[in-house]
Chain A
Amino acid sequence: DTGVSQNPRHKITKRGQNVTFRCDPISEHNRLYWYRQTLGQGPEFLTYFQNEAQLEKSRLLSDRFSAERPKGSFSTLEIQRTEQGDSAMYLCASSGLGQGTRTFFGQGTRLTVV
């Protein structure tokens, strides 16, 4: 088990382009979370999946953002028509079910929109 894996680690894109990030959670984890972290702030919750079902979306997740988790395994986060304000670190995390379960974070994908 190599933990939560995110790809790519860095992405530079031009404003208006679409980008897609991938997250591979710990294999036995049912829940998968996406967070966004901007410089000088803590991570902010975006959305989460339990297996393949997307159960909650933050109001931070505009219509340009979409996340999927087909087959309840890996997940993708797509941003359409990127804006400079989308520049941030995008973190993925996974956990099992239950109150005592621990959440593991990936190292994140740093997006820079130029």
Chain B
Amino acid sequence: GDSVTQMEGPVTLSEEAFLTINCTYTATGYPSLFWYVQYPGEGLQLLLKATKADDKGSNKGFEATYRKETTSFHLEKGSVQVSDSAVYFCALTPYTNAGKSTFGDGTTLTVKP
């Protein structure tokens, strides 16, 4: 079945540091790929998505590129802020069902001033 593997956390960075959170996946067909963010005490929010190979999703300074050849969708941000502290989840959905998602286990990011 489908699966998503994220780099293990937690990740602690200083403000303005570069962020990379690795994500690789296993799926049949052509899934869509997502990054969700969960701030403390809040629900899951879509951060960015990509629906086909070589697409780049971007939002709020975060970027991720759909790499079919390496089955990866790594999240990056050039300069993190304290407000980016949250749990980040990589996820995929199969082409045939846009809401039935498979999630990674999440990576907790803490940004220190």
The interface of chain A, by Cβ under 8 A from chain B, is 31, 33, 35, 40-45, 48, 56, 91, 93-95, 97-103, 105-108
A-B contact pairs, 15 of them (CB 8 A): A33-B100, A40-B105, A42-B89, A42-B91, A42-B104, A42-B105, A42-B106, A43-B101, A98-B98, A101-B98, A102-B46, A103-B46, A105-B44, A105-B45, A108-B43
B42 to chain A: closest residue by CB? A107
Q: Are A56 and B100 in contact (CB under 8 A)?
A: yes
User: Number of residues in B with C-beta < 8 Å to the partner?
Assistant: 24
> How far, in whole Å, are A79 and B104 apart by their CA atoms in the complex?
25
Residues of B within 8 A of A101 (CB): 98-99
A45 contact from B4, B46, B101, B104, Cβ within 8 A: B101
A99 lies within 8 A of B103 (CB): no
How far does the Cβ of A3 sit from chain B's closest Cβ, in whole Å?
Answer: 9
- Cβ B98 vs Cβ A33 within 8 A: no
Q: Closest CB-CB distance, A49 to chain B, in whole Å?
A: 10
Contacting residue for B99 out of A31, A42, A44, A106, CB 8 A: A31
Question: In angstroms, how far is the closest chain A Cβ from the Cβ of B89?
Answer: 5
Q: Are B106 and A41 in contact (CB under 8 A)?
A: yes
Using known A-B contacts A31-B99, A108-B43, determine if residue A41 contacts B105 with beta carbons closer than 8 Å.
yes
- Given the complex of chains A and B, what is the CA–CA distance between A108 and B91 in angstroms? 18
Tell me which residues across on chain B come within 8 A of A97, comparing CB atoms.
Answer: 98
